[in-house]
A and B are shown apart, each in its own frame.
Chain A
Amino acid sequence: MTATMRPSASACPACSAAPAAEALAGNGECGANIALSLPTIHCSACITKIEKALNADPRVHSARVNLTLKRASVEADEDVTAQDMKALVEGLGYEAHELDPGTLNATSNDRAGRNLLMRLAVAGFASMNVMLLSVSVWSGAEDATRDMFHWISAAIALPTIAFSGQPFFVNAWAALKKRQLNMDVPITLAILLAVVTSLWETSLSGEHAYFDAALALTFFLLAGRYLDHRTRAIARSAAEELTALEVPRAVRLRDGVEQTVAVAELAVGDMVLVRPGGRMPVDGEIIEGTSEIDRSLLTGETVPVFAGAGQAVSAGEVNLTGPLRVRATAVGADTSLHRMADLVAIAESGRSRYTSLADKAAKLYAPGVHILAGLAFVGWYLYTFDVRTALNIAAAVLIITCPCALGLAVPAVTTAASGRLFRRGMLIKHETALERLAEVDAVVFDKTGTLTEGTPELTNLGDLKRSDVELALALAQGSSHPLAQAITKAARAAGYAPARVSDVSEVPGYGTRGIADGQEVRLGRASWTGAEGLAVTATFLQRGEGAPVGFILADRLRTGAEEAVTELKAAGKQVYLMSGDTTVAVEALAQRLGIERWMAEALPADKAARVRAMTDEGRRVLMVGDGLNDTAALAAAHVSISPASALDAARVASDIVLLGGDLSPIPSACGTATSATRRIRENFRIATIYNIVAVPLAVAGLCSPLIAALAMSASSITVSLNALRLR
């Protein structure tokens, strides 16, 4: 009944007319759900301005801006597109980008995080109350009062542990089923044993009960878990936002009618229109049109390739000059882009062999603790022949040695370090990425799109005649081709004015032509202007039948590339350059940056094989790359970084994503990772020292619940403070 009364249903006539459609749409929402990324909003005025403008649109049902995520979510009529909303927000003077709502779903509803927070809150509440009762027991409550306090503590502790301790119990059970030991096994054992012995003691009116210890343990460990989860959730949400920014859409041609559809809807045999600047959504064959295509993300080649009818293209290539009609031969998971995933899967099996510091510690620690507690039990049983005393002491040993500080040692440090690196524009995606980054001693860079921006710049402007440059500027300024744009930019910056040229027209796939002083002038490919092709990226200007003039272009260096290479070398790491580009181009860049070891014309498998060979030599390789040809190498390396501009596949394969365009944070990130690992080790040492002091007391039977509580809290706080010292 309530479903039909909802105002949202009446706001959309289609929904109330067809209840089935409402059920299909889920949650009674109907119409379009649009998400926009608003990177420039920063204040309350921005929020109100945007919300007001969006809500003023009669087609919008509701709009809400989230300042923390810098995002707006809009519910609107079915026919409203994200483009409309984007234009509306951009009209207000804010930058706006469309986000794919399907990709974002996972982040908006962080169920696991909320679950952990709830358990943490319950454990915190319970441990504080039980601690208050325990304090009065420690300060001298006796007889009936003490028993009552113990029973109240038990009444609070039992349901709390049943609820809050679940994550540990589940993990421990999973490990035991696989006949392994992890950190959660001693934790679970300590908690359960503490509760059982305490209950037993309480029922016998005993003096010592460990309810407070069991709860404090749960609380501290859950705090560590929650920190860990939050760090990863933040990174995951930012990574998802990067993916959601690329809305996979294509223009399908059916009976001559253009239709914008999601890439997932395309089928083999469909005709797809790819406009200049667009990325190929499918593998296919060009049916109509001539253009040039940029394959740098797939192969690392910087020189655009001519594309004409009958030629095969692969998904991920970028169309540069003319519109192309492509017939799909492979879509979705069958495209060459996705086939690369097999290579990645093979390479990744090597990485999973890495054991984190926490796991290494657990491997040493868990059996030790169990043996110690077992020996204490047996020893005291043989000495007193009293199961109660022996069990009490074994429980005390387990509680004292329980890895409370160990559970906090790693998450506290990684949270601090990840937060610091995030502010410098680095997204730590993988939980052990920092530890692995700290071990790196060799760095492999990809060229195109990583060390260079993938956008060319004119290099021989000084050698060219003024009249040639002016003519080229006149021909180039109307074109959207990257080489033409580079010439325009360089010539304008140097103060040249375009020459007088009439009838300028662009010939897709070849270049531009026009009429100047009564003769035809052409700017474009070597073969079209009658020039000899060069080994480097170049375009040529031809006047009538005269000799062509070459304009030589080189890839622009990414900001911070030089600093990054110099600092990495200064830090004693070996720097390599591996690219799929031509030998000449790679050698030139290697010399410019002072990289001695380089490799050109490398196939994706070559790169991965080389990285694996270096790993076999005992090197710990950091791979920095952005293209599809790098994905296998990224996955094979010990740790990998990719820039935000990289292909989705490359970002997925890498552990760390660089959010800005700047490469200079890489060396300092290595430094931060090293000091983070040092802090983790220090934290382990601190926790061990506490154990060394307290364990003999516990084994000797001198450890009261008060000492246990003190040791536990003190070590947890020291460890957390030590983590905060991280620079």
Chain B
Amino acid sequence: MTILAYLIPISLIMGGLGLAFFIWTVKTNQYDDPEGDARRILSDEYDDKPKQ
């Protein structure tokens, strides 16, 4: 059962990382233009400094 001492923190930390990542995407306006972002990736223009 000592394995639980490792597994539970590990699962919580990994879940927490996912949550933090999601919150970061919301905070940085990444859902403002889903359609445009999906198309922009197909653009031939290579931009070294993409605008926010």
- Residues of chain A whose beta carbon lies under 8 Å from any beta carbon of chain B: 43-45, 47-48, 52, 62, 64-69, 114, 117-118, 121-122, 125, 128-129, 132-133, 145, 148, 152, 156
Over the window 3-41 of chain B, the binary record of Cβ atoms lying under 8 Å from chain A Cβ atoms (1 yes, 0 no) is 010001001100110110011001000001111100110
Q: Could you tell me if B43 and A125 are in contact, using CB atoms closer than 8 angstroms?
A: no
A45 to B40, CA, bound (A): 9
Closest 10 CB pairs of A and B: A67-B36, A44-B39, A68-B35, A125-B19, A66-B33, A67-B35, A68-B33, A44-B43, A44-B42, A121-B22
**Would you give the shortest CB distance from A484 to chain B, in whole angstroms?**
43
Q: Which of B19, B34, B40 contacts A47 (CB 8 A)?
A: B40
A68 and B8 in contact, given A114-B26, A145-B1 (Cβ under 8 angstroms): no
Residue of chain B at shortest CB distance from A43: B39
Which residues from chain B contact A67 at a C-beta distance below 8 Å? 33, 35-36, 39
Question: Which residues on A sit within 8 Å (CB–CB) of B18?
Answer: 125
19 of the cross-chain contacts (CB-CB < 8 Å) are A43-B39, A44-B39, A44-B42, A45-B43, A47-B36, A47-B40, A48-B43, A48-B45, A62-B51, A66-B33, A67-B33, A68-B33, A68-B34, A68-B35, A118-B26, A121-B22, A125-B18, A145-B1, A156-B12
Contacting residues, chain B, for A122 (C-beta < 8 A): 19
Instruction: Tell whether, in the assembled complex, residue A68 and residue B39 are in contact, meaning their CB atoms are under 8 Å apart.
Output: no
Q: Is the beta-carbon distance between B36 and A129 smaller than 8 angstroms?
A: no
Q: What residues on B are CB-neighbors of A117 within 8 Å?
A: 26
Q: Which of B4, B26, B32, B51 contacts A68 (CB 8 A)?
A: B32
Cα of A68 to Cα of B39 in the assembled complex, Å:
11
Tally A-B pairs: CB < 8 A. 53
- Name A145's closest neighbour in chain B (CB-CB): B1
Q: How far is the CA of A129 from the CA of B45 in the complex (A)?
A: 43
- Which residue from chain B places its CB closest to the CB of A55 in the assembled complex? B51
Contact of A44 among B1, B12, B40 (CB under 8 A): B40
When the two chains form their complex, are residues B51 and A64 in contact, meaning their CB atoms are under 8 A apart? yes
Please, how many angstroms separate the alpha-carbon atoms of A712 and B2 in the complex? 33
Please give 11 more A-B residue pairs, beta carbons under 8 A apart, in addition to A47-B39, A125-B18. Answer: A43-B39, A44-B40, A44-B42, A44-B43, A66-B36, A68-B34, A121-B26, A122-B19, A125-B19, A128-B15, A152-B8
B39 nearest CB across to chain A (Å): 4
B15 & A125 in contact (Cβ 8 Å cutoff): yes
From known contacts A117-B26, A125-B19, infer whether A47 and B43 are also in contact, taking CB-CB under 8 Å: yes
Please name all residues of chain A whose beta carbon is closer than 8 Å to the beta carbon of B8 when the two chains form the complex.
133, 152
Across the interface, name the chain B residue whose C-beta is closest to A42: B39
Q: Is the interface on chain B under 10, 10 to 19, 20 to 34, or 35 or more residues? A: 20 to 34
B33 touches A129 (CB 8 A): no
Per DSSP, chain A at the interface is helix
CB contact between B12 and one of A45, A47, A129 (< 8 Å): that residue: A129
* Residues in chain B near residue A129, CB distance under 8 A: 11-12, 15
Cβ-defined contact, B23 with A118, below 8 A = yes
User: Chain B residues with Cβ under 8 A from A132's Cβ?
Assistant: 11
Tell me the bound Cα distance from A44 to B36 in angstroms: 7
Q: Could you tell me the distance between the alpha carbons of A152 and B18 in the complex, rounded to whole angstroms?
A: 19
- Name the A residues within 8 Å of B12 (CB-CB): 129, 156
Distance A68 CA – B42 CA, assembled complex (angstroms): 16
In whole angstroms, how far apart are the Cα atoms of A455 and B51 in the complex? 45
**Among the interface residues B19, B36, B43, which one has the most CB atoms of the partner chain A within 10 A?**
B36
Residues of A within 8 A of B32 (CB): 66, 68
- Bound form: Cα–Cα A117–B16 in Å: 16
Q: How far is the CA of A67 from the CA of B43 in the complex (A)?
A: 14
- Chain A residues with Cβ under 8 A from B36's Cβ? 47, 65-68
Taking the closest CB of chain A, its distance from the CB of B36, in whole angstroms, is: 3
Residues of B within 8 A of A128 (CB): 15
Nearest CB of chain B from residue A127's CB, rounded to whole Å: 11
List the B side residues contacting A65 at CB < 8 Å.
Answer: 36
Closest to B1 in A: A145
Compute how far the CA of A44 lies from the CA of B1 in the bound complex, rounded to whole angstroms.
55
Chain A residues with CB under 8 Å of B26's CB are 114, 117-118, 121
What CA separation (Å) do A145 and B45 show in the bound complex? 57
Chain B residues with CB under 8 Å of A48's CB are: 43, 45
| Chain B residues, Cβ within 8 Å of A44 | 39-40, 42-43
Which one of A43, A62, A66, A68 has the greatest number of beta carbons of chain B within 10 Å?
A68
Min CB distance A211 to B, Å, is 14
Q: Contacts of B15 on A, CB cut-off 8 Å?
A: 125, 128-129
A117 and B31 CA atoms in complex are apart in Å by: 11
CA distance A52 to B46 in the complex (A): 12
What residue in chain B is nearest A136 (Cβ atoms)? B4
Q: List the A side residues contacting B45 at CB < 8 Å.
A: 48, 52
Q: Which residue of B lies closest to A41 (CB)?
A: B36
> Are B33 and A121 within 8 A (Cβ)?
no
Q: Chain B residues with Cβ under 8 A from A68's Cβ?
A: 32-36
Within the assembled complex, what's the spacing in Å between the Cα atoms of A122 and B19? 7
A371 CB to nearest chain B CB (Å): 39
Compute how far the CA of A133 lies from the CA of B11 in the bound complex, rounded to whole angstroms.
11
The complex places the Cα of A118 from the Cα of B31 at a distance, in Å, of 13
B32 to chain A, nearest CB (A): 7
Task: For the complex, give the distance between the alpha carbons of A69 and B29 in Å.
Answer: 14
Q: Report the bound CA distance from A57 to B10 in whole Å.
A: 53
B44 and chain A: residue at smallest CB distance: A48
- The smallest beta-carbon distance between B20 and chain A, in angstroms, is 10
Chain B nearest Cβ from A724, distance in angstroms = 21
Chain B proximity of A712: nearest CB distance (Å): 21
Determine how close the nearest CB of chain A comes to the CB of B44; give it in whole angstroms. 8
Alpha-carbon distance A117/B26, docked complex (angstroms): 8
A64 to B4, CA, bound (A): 50
> Do B19 and A121 have beta carbons less than 8 Å apart?
yes
Contacts of B39 in A (CB 8 A): 43-44, 47, 67
Residue of B nearest to A63 (CB): B51
Determine the residue in chain A with the shortest Cβ distance to B22.
A121
List, in ascending order, chain A residues with CB within 8 A of B40's CB. 44, 47
Residues of B within 8 A of A69 (CB): 33
Q: Which residue of B lies closest to A121 (CB)?
A: B22
Docked pose: A133 CA to B8 CA in angstroms: 9
Q: How far is the CA of A148 from the CA of B4 in the complex (A)?
A: 10
Chain A residue with the shortest CB-CB distance to B42: A44
Smallest distance from the beta carbon of A533 to chain B beta carbons, Å? 55
Docked pose: A122 CA to B8 CA in angstroms: 18
Distance between Cα atoms of A156 and B16 in the complex (Å):
11
| Chain B residues whose C-beta falls within 8 Å of the C-beta of A52 in the assembled complex | 45
Q: How far is it, in angstroms, between the C-alpha of A705 and the C-alpha of B25 when the chains are bound? A: 34
User: Whole-angstrom distance between the alpha carbons of A320 and B43 in the complex?
Assistant: 47
Distance between Cα atoms of A156 and B39 in the complex (Å): 39
A111 to chain B, nearest CB (A): 11
Inter-chain CA distance A133–B15, complex, in Å, is 14
In Å, the complex CA distance between A47 and B50 comes to 14
Report the Cα distance A47→B42, complex, angstroms: 11
Bound together, the chains give a CA A691 to CA B22 distance in angstroms of: 35
CB proximity of A590 to chain B, nearest CB, Å = 45
